Amino acid sequence: MTTPTPVVTPPLGSHAKPARLVVLVSGGGSNLAALMSACADPAYGATVVAVGADRTGTGGVALAEDAGIATFVTRVGDYPNRQAWDHALTAAVAAHEPDLVISAGFLKLCGPEFVARFSGRYLNTHNSLLPSFAGIRGPADALAYGVKLAGATLFVVDEGVDTGVVLAQVAVPVEFDDTEDSLLERIKTAERAQLVDVVGRMCREGWSVAGRRTRIGS
Ligand SMILES: Nc1nc2c(c(=O)[nH]1)N[C@@H](CN(C=O)c1ccc(C(=O)N[C@@H](CCC(=O)O)C(=O)O)cc1)CN2
Ligand SMILES: NCC(=O)N[C@@H]1O[C@H](COP(=O)([O-])[O-])[C@@H](O)[C@H]1O
């Protein structure tokens, strides 16, 4: 089998010129909070320039507002169809000229226009070890199946559902007496650390993609 030629993305940011992150949320925003906290250190190499949501009243948008970060809400129901919503979301994100777009608990599938506009620069953190347990019930599905390892996956979003190339994965044990909540919390703790670590390294060191294989740094 021939090895595909790597597509190399150079570092996006530095201490002097941090990479611009736009973060999309639908909920409490603990992943966003972890990123915001990391970005407070100039050596991290990135800054959150805007936070967007698909619904009103999210904790994530409240966190951003409290920190003086720009926010926007783009609701599917405010548009005549999904394509028009996708177009509006693309424009809302593009207005902030992001180097990276990060879905952190964003519970909407983005359409072809969005995925094409931010191709290769749109990441999602998902709370399962993909390709197992895609969708919006990852931890519950993992618990129901009885797997011994659960975890989180950071990947580059494509037009499929949780099918993009994998950038990083972290595993946590599933205990015999876990509930959905206890497992979710264990996953989220590991997921946040992974997100902060890998996004920072991508911004400072760049990354390569060869077919489905990826490498952070050179
Ligand atoms: N084109 C893509 N967009 C997004 C992806 C992706 O892989 N491809 N990942 C997500 C997040 N995600 C899981 O990680 C995910 C989000 C939403 C859904 C879904 O079925 N959503 C329904 C609505 C559900 C609701 O509002 O409660 C929908 O979009 O209509 C599945 C997986 C980020 N976007
Ligand atoms: N498939 C989408 C999905 O389930 N995403 C999950 O939502 C949580 C958001 O938490 P947060 O709002 O505290 O960052 C995260 O665990 C993320 O993996």
ipTM: 0.92
Distance from Cα 200 to the centre of ligand 1, integer Å? 24
Res 21: pLDDT = 98
Question: Is 126 near ligand 2, meaning CB less than 6 Å away?
Answer: yes
Residue to probe by mutation, ligand 2, list 30, 143, 172, most atoms within 8 Å of CB: 30
**Nearest atom (ligand 1) to Cα of 164:** 7
Could you report the per-residue pLDDT of 109-126, keeping only the tens digit for each? 999 999 999 999 999 999
**Is the peptide bond preceding residue 131 cis, with omega within 30 degrees of 0?**
yes
- Domain ranges for the chain, please list them: 14-216
**Nearest atom (ligand 2) to Cα of 25:** 12
Q: Whole-model pTM above 0.90?
A: yes
Q: Which fold has domain 14-216?
A: Rossmann fold (3.40.50)
Give residue 1's pLDDT band: very low, low, confident or very high (50, 70, 90).
low
Res 2: pLDDT = 73
Could you report the per-residue pLDDT of 155-188, keeping only the tens digit for each? 999 999 999 999 999 999 999 999 999 999 999 9
